[in-house]
Structure formats: structure tokens, C-alpha cells
A and B are shown apart, each in its own frame.
Chain A
């Protein structure tokens, strides 16, 4: 079996690819649903309804999508430049801790400043924490060729343990009855809700605006050109005068910074303090979302809402028909694989022998 590049990639094939991918995903996960002994239609009905079927369902889905947009953006920016940042999870926690360090109720009061100023300082600190965390691995890669997949991945564990130490030490909330959780954010720093009585907060708008901003940056700026050129062909990019080291460093700062912001926005919008389980792997899901969106910042919004909806819907479906929530992971994973395969097939033709 061999793959041959098609002479021309038809726009129709590229448009049909995601539809085929969804069909394949449905088929695979339907088999699992049947295997679990549940009826198909009610199961899918419950999942869709749970994720997208009501104002409440939408609010939950969008709440879940907010950090996913940001970690997805972090992955998309870095991957575009061939900087494989697997460390968004750690960067998110670093950002969350930095946010609480600036805006938390230390000793019952916290820093005194105008809330808007403090909020800005909190976001800057979070972005810086995430950015600096990625800068090291990026420079190591650019200067010494150290594999950034390994360094960023392993940094996740280091950061998580460091956060754990902080939650049991200097950042510990004395009123938390021994639970490892940080002091809470000053209440005036919490982000407002978009819809009363739900958990959707204005962080969603911030995340969407960031995605739009990154898209504009990638498409219309010289830095965006540098990033795309370096990712597509590093030798040709250097030949044309793209500064490789500076570009990689800026990409790292942007990607890590966005992931750090995800942590701050989670704290300010949803949890108001840091715990060790505040992220159920948002950093890793971000990679999936970025790939689903083929690294496009705007398509990423849709991918994040889709994944969030499946995760939320699976929770409520599981309560109704008793299929384990892991079906959500299967759906997300299968859709990623089938989107990749479908895109490949739109661009390549399979020849048998």
C-alpha cells in the first residue's frame, strides 16, 4: 500500500472530509454504546441534550470550553511554528498560582490596589509565569537541539508537584480544613457571569477575543509570517532572513503566555482558588482541539465548543442511561483520528500495490 500526493486537492473533498470524519466517529462510538447494552437513540439523544439541549446545557458547555479555547490556542500557535509544546497543563497551573499570588486574600486581605489594576497585574503575572515556563525548553531546543516534547512534558510533573508543595505550604488556605487548596481570590477580582444563575463568565469573551487576535497576528503581521515560515521550512525561512532564535522565543512567550492566562481565567472565572484537580487535563485536551481545528485559531473556537459539549453531555447521558462517561474520551479521540485520516485522504490517494 502506498500514498500518492494528489495533483490538486479539491475544495469539495476538503469540505467533505470533516463530515466523513463525524460519520466514522459516530459509527465507532455507537458500537461501544451497543456493547455497553444501551439503546442507541436515547443515548445519543441524552448526550446531545446534555451538551447543547438547553440554556443550562449551553452554559455548562461554554464554561468548559473557555479554558479549552486558550490551551488549544497555546498548542496551535506553537505547533504552527513546529515548537511542540506539550506543557500547557503545567503552564496553566503556573498561571493559576501566579494569579492567586497577585490577587489572593493573603492573611485575610491581600494587596490593596484598584481592582482593575490588580486584575490586570494578575493576568500579566499569569501570562508571564506560563511564558517563562516555556521559554526555557524553547531556547534549549533552538540552541542545543534538546527535544521540547520531552522537556515540556516532564515540566508538567515538576510544576504540579511544585504547586502541590505551595498548596500545602505558603499558599495554603488556613480555613480549608486541611484540604490542599490555595487562599481564595479577592472577591472583587472574580469575573462577572454572562448569564445570571449559570457559570458562564466573561472569560469566554476574553478567550474568543484572544483567538481572534492571534489569528490576525498570524495572518497579517511580520511575526506571523516568521512563525508560519519557520514552521513550514526552517531552512528556507532563515535563508529569507527570518531570525530563527528570536522567532522561536516569541512563539514560546506567546504560547506559554496564553496557557498561563487559561489558569488565571479559570481561577478568576470559575474556581476562585487553586486546587490540584482544577484542570482535568485541559492542557492535553488543548492539543487535541488544536489538531481538530488544523491549527486554525478561528476553527479552534468550534472545536473547543464541540469537545466541551461532548464532555458535558456525556456526564448527563451517563446519569440517564448508564453508559460510562469514558465514551466522551472515545468520541473525542476517534474524531481526532478520523479528522486526521480524512484530511490525509483528501490530499493523498491510496494505491494498493
Chain B
């Protein structure tokens, strides 16, 4: 900011970008010094992704200018950004699984008309870059065989190979275990020592404090604060991010030791590839939240789909209150299973259909809402209105298409549909897969409170989440998934962050 020591490598000034009436970036200015790690902190939807997309040329800003190494950057051209030395590592990797590391790195760097690929030259350069920045990866390994941490290293190598001197990392730890994250942080420190500058995007406070020298906080598209990390602390950052003090829900651990088993999985196998269960056993008890941690893509989706009636076990047994579970959503709903899917837009609601139809869609076949194949509209709409009021679904009204709802309101609608039974009963089992993903802090607290309330009312809750903080905050029992295996569920107090991290990486025997 002072800029006395060295001229900044990157200067963004007055960046503004609107999407319709939404102002995603509102007059944002920031600078990046050489050899600096800048943390870009903000909630989901605060405008972080839009800002770096503008920097990398994916979007053109409505106003503002960007200078890189003192030179004006042509806007809206990824090619120009690359040429200026900006490298981007996306949250979701852009690698071809069936090519080698070398192929992936070289891809796109050679000219179309060049008659032969200069392999040996490229290999030498890749090894050199790897050595210099401490990123060892075998050039001839197939990317499909690499671990997630290794893939991320390939992504970083790809950027460095192209001569990046400013590296943008978008939520780089979202897919890593705690141990892999540590390794990444060490790598970043080494790269900064070599004179690289890094923008580290995250919504996790602790990480930003750990990695960055300076932090810029975005909220609702504006820069609300910036500070040196040495002169601030987590609660101050949280207040900036959220705009008000937010008390996390107080999870009082459930006290009774032995409660009846509502749902039991015994040696369940299903699915194949990354989305599989390989002999999973688990008991879900009434009045208890069982939280399943793990890096996403290790079989959590298979587990959720199994208990949502979308998938059957190929071996093993699933019992719901002693009865074999049927792979039929309608059967599950009728037997008191409340289901909250991970992908609320793609699976949770039918966006083109009105809110009220979505609110009753699961129970449309029950005699309460259907007579002789015809929908009992009045009863159905009355129930939808009850859900709308009980769960405070705002914004669209009953007849608007469900896609008009914001993420938080859509999740409230899904929660209401699942939890608010027309007969006033509480669900027997709740299956919640990433129920707070992508929600703002207020909505997160609301969803978590609803789950806790349902637990206290006697429901068995299965919470599948890759947010470790959420797992530790809500889970009475915690189990960890890796590669389709599930560790035995243990009391929350019997785990440490480290032991969970080890289990997430598959380092613990599942026996």
C-alpha cells in the first residue's frame, strides 16, 4: 500500500462488474507487492471469483483498469494475461486424466504449425522448474493415477512452466487433507522466496492468517477491509467478512449413551470407481448426529444416494427400523426419511416448476395431496404455504419458478419439504449431504440449527460434509471416509484434527 520499497507487480483500480442488477464487483482496487502472498477473503458470493476471472481475462469489467509489472493489461483476453505472467490454478482442476504430466503441462504451449513436438526440451524445462520451486512430480506419470495433492502440483507446475510470476490460487485447500494443505503451504513459502507473488483466495480464516502477509476482505462485491495479517486476528476478519457478529450454533452434545438404532448399514458395497462403497458398516441412532468427514469424491455421494433411495446396495444390507431399505424415494419418504441432497439446483428442486409444486413434490403421491391421480391443489398449496412460513422461505412466492430463489432460500425450501411433515411428525432419519455448502453465514447457522433441533426431537441424523469445522461442531459421532471405506464412528472427543486428517488421507486402518 505504501509502495515505497518496490513498485507493485499488480495494480487493479476501480474494477466494477455488474450482472444484470447484481453488482458482483463494486469499485475494487488492490495491489500486490513482489514476493507477497495476498489473501483474498470473503464469503461465497462476495465477488472473489468474479474479481480473479476479470484479472485472468474471463470477464471484461464494466469499469476499471489493471496494470501488471507497470504495463496496462488488455482486458478480457486470457491470452494477454498469460503473456503478462499471470497464472491461475482453478479450484476444479483442468487436467486430462489420460495424458501424462508432461503432456498436460506442454498442452497449449506449442504452436499449431510446429511440425514436431520438442519433447526433450520441454521435459528438461519441466524438471528444472520443478527443482527450482520444489515441486517434484514424475513427468511420465499418467495424471489419472495421481493423488489430488499431486494433481494440484501439476496445475501449479503448468502455470510456472508458462512463466507465471503472479499465481492465483482459487480455494486451493478445498480438495486437500490437512496434511496435504500443510505441504502446499510449504511449497508456497518456497515460491515466494523465489520472488513470485501469490493471490490466495479462500473463505477459511485460519488458512489465510497462516499463509498470507496481507489480507483483503470482500463483502457483497466491495473491499470492506485490508490489513497485514500480523496486525489482525480471526474474529476481526470474521466480523469484516460477515458484517456482524455471528454466533455459531451451540451444539450441546447429546447425552444419553445408548439410543435405539434407526438405520444400520452392514458391509454395504455399491457403485464403482471413485463413487463407491467398499464394505461400509454404520449405525445411525435416534437423537444423535453422525457426521461423516472426508475429502469429497471418496464415496460420500454413493453413501448419500444409497440412503436417499437413488441407488441400491450390490452387497450387504441396509436396514431402516429393522426393515430392509428399498431403493425408492417415495418409500423412504413414506417411512420418515428426510433427505437433503448435495446439489440443490440439480437434484434438490426442479427449477422450472413453481415453488409450491417443489414444496410438495416428495409427498405428491400420498393420499393427502392426490386423489385418483389428480393433485389436490388446495391441500398441496396450503402445505406449501405452511412450509414457506415455518421455514421462512422468502423472495419468490408460491407460484414463481423455484430457480428464482436464492441459494439460502432454496435450501430452506428443501429443508422444509424434508422436515415439515403434513401430519406434524418428526422424521425418523435425516440424510443431509453438504447441507450448508455455498450458503451465506446466516443461512448456514439456520440450517445447522434445524438439524440440531431435529436431533433433539429424536431424529437420527447423518451429516455428510467435507467442512471439518462443521463436522466437529455438529457431530456427536464422527466417522471418516476414504476410497469407499468408512472408519468406525467414534465420539467427537475421541478425534483430533490430526487423526481425522490422517483418516481422510487413508492412513488409518478401517477395521
CA distance A241 to B375 in the complex (A): 15
Q: Tell me if A7 counts as interface (CB < 8 A to partner B).
A: yes
With a cutoff of 8 Å between Cβ atoms, the chain A residues found around residue B350 in the complex are 228-229, 232-233, 236-237, 240
- Cβ-neighbour of B352 out of A233, A239, A242, A349 (below 8 A): A233
B337-366 interface code vs A (CB 8 A; 1 in, 0 out): 001010000111111110001100110110
B310-339 interface code vs A (CB 8 A; 1 in, 0 out): 100000000000000000111001000001
With a cutoff of 8 Å between Cβ atoms, the chain A residues found around residue B22 in the complex are 7
Q: Tell me if A223 counts as interface (CB < 8 A to partner B).
A: yes
With a cutoff of 8 Å between Cβ atoms, the chain A residues found around residue B308 in the complex are 239
With a cutoff of 8 Å between Cβ atoms, the chain B residues found around residue A239 in the complex are 308, 310, 329, 339, 341, 347-348
Of B339, B350, B364, most buried by chain A (CB within 10 Å of CB) is B350
The answer to whether B374 and A222 touch across the interface, beta carbons within 8 angstroms, is yes
B258-285 interface code vs A (CB 8 A; 1 in, 0 out): 0000000000000000000000000000
CA distance A220 to B381 in the complex (A): 13
A-B interface contact total, Cβ < 8 Å: 77
CA distance A225 to B373 in the complex (A): 10
CA distance A239 to B431 in the complex (A): 13
Chain A residue, CB-CB nearest to B348: A236
A225-259 interface code vs B (CB 8 A; 1 in, 0 out): 10011001101111111100000000000000000
Chain B residue, CB-CB nearest to A5: B20
- Cβ-neighbour of A241 out of B348, B353, B361, B377 (below 8 A): B361
Chain B residue, CB-CB nearest to A233: B350
**Which residues B370-385 have CB closer than 8 A to chain A?**
370, 373-375, 377
Chain A residue, CB-CB nearest to B357: A225
With a cutoff of 8 Å between Cβ atoms, the chain B residues found around residue A5 in the complex are 20
Give the total of A residues in contact with B, Cβ under 8 Å.
23
Q: A7-B21, A220-B377, A225-B357 are in contact. Are A241 and B365 (CB under 8 A)?
A: yes
The answer to whether B375 and A4 touch across the interface, beta carbons within 8 angstroms, is no
Q: Tell me if B76 counts as interface (CB < 8 A to partner A).
A: yes
Q: A233-B346, A233-B352, A239-B341 are in contact. Are A225 and B375 (CB under 8 A)?
A: yes
CA distance A233 to B347 in the complex (A): 8
- Cβ-neighbour of A236 out of B330, B349, B365, B374 (below 8 A): B349
The answer to whether B329 and A241 touch across the interface, beta carbons within 8 angstroms, is yes
Q: Tell me if A353 counts as interface (CB < 8 A to partner B).
A: yes
Q: Tell me if B113 counts as interface (CB < 8 A to partner A).
A: no
With a cutoff of 8 Å between Cβ atoms, the chain A residues found around residue B60 in the complex are 353
Q: Tell me if B19 counts as interface (CB < 8 A to partner A).
A: yes
Give the total of B residues in contact with A, Cβ under 8 Å.
33
CA distance A221 to B376 in the complex (A): 9
The answer to whether A220 and B374 touch across the interface, beta carbons within 8 angstroms, is yes
CA distance A220 to B364 in the complex (A): 12
The answer to whether B310 and A238 touch across the interface, beta carbons within 8 angstroms, is yes
With a cutoff of 8 Å between Cβ atoms, the chain B residues found around residue A349 in the complex are 20
The answer to whether B373 and A223 touch across the interface, beta carbons within 8 angstroms, is yes
Q: A233-B346, A239-B341 are in contact. Are A222 and B364 (CB under 8 A)?
A: yes
The answer to whether A240 and B21 touch across the interface, beta carbons within 8 angstroms, is no
Question: In angstroms, how far is the closest chain A Cβ from the Cβ of B50?
Answer: 14
The answer to whether B20 and A7 touch across the interface, beta carbons within 8 angstroms, is yes
CA distance A228 to B350 in the complex (A): 9
With a cutoff of 8 Å between Cβ atoms, the chain A residues found around residue B352 in the complex are 228, 232-233
Of A220, A221, A229, most buried by chain B (CB within 10 Å of CB) is A229
Q: Tell me if A6 counts as interface (CB < 8 A to partner B).
A: yes
The answer to whether A4 and B19 touch across the interface, beta carbons within 8 angstroms, is yes
Chain A residue, CB-CB nearest to B329: A241
Chain B residue, CB-CB nearest to A7: B20
Chain B residue, CB-CB nearest to A6: B20
Question: In angstroms, how far is the closest chain B Cβ from the Cβ of A247?
Answer: 12
**Which residues A1-40 have CB closer than 8 A to chain B?**
4-7
The answer to whether A4 and B351 touch across the interface, beta carbons within 8 angstroms, is no
Question: In angstroms, how far is the closest chain B Cβ from the Cβ of A307?
Answer: 27
- Cβ-neighbour of B328 out of A229, A236, A237, A241 (below 8 A): A241
The answer to whether B375 and A220 touch across the interface, beta carbons within 8 angstroms, is yes
CA distance A220 to B348 in the complex (A): 22
Question: In angstroms, how far is the closest chain A Cβ from the Cβ of B341?
Answer: 6
With a cutoff of 8 Å between Cβ atoms, the chain A residues found around residue B370 in the complex are 222
Of A235, A238, A240, A241, most buried by chain B (CB within 10 Å of CB) is A240
Question: In angstroms, how far is the closest chain A Cβ from the Cβ of B49?
Answer: 17
Question: In angstroms, how far is the closest chain B Cβ from the Cβ of A221?
Answer: 5
Question: In angstroms, how far is the closest chain B Cβ from the Cβ of A13?
Answer: 14
Of B361, B373, B377, most buried by chain A (CB within 10 Å of CB) is B361
The answer to whether A221 and B373 touch across the interface, beta carbons within 8 angstroms, is yes
The answer to whether A221 and B375 touch across the interface, beta carbons within 8 angstroms, is yes
The answer to whether A221 and B76 touch across the interface, beta carbons within 8 angstroms, is no
CA distance A349 to B20 in the complex (A): 9
Q: A4-B20, A220-B377 are in contact. Are A241 and B362 (CB under 8 A)?
A: yes
| Known pairs A222-B370, A229-B350, A236-B351 / 4 extra A-B pairs, C-beta < 8 Å | A220-B375, A225-B353, A240-B350, A240-B364
Question: Nearest 9 CB-CB pairs, A to B?
Answer: A241-B330, A240-B361, A241-B329, A7-B20, A232-B352, A233-B350, A236-B350, A229-B350, A232-B350
A-B contact list, 8 entries, CB within 8 Å: A221-B374, A221-B375, A222-B365, A228-B350, A232-B351, A233-B351, A235-B347, A236-B351
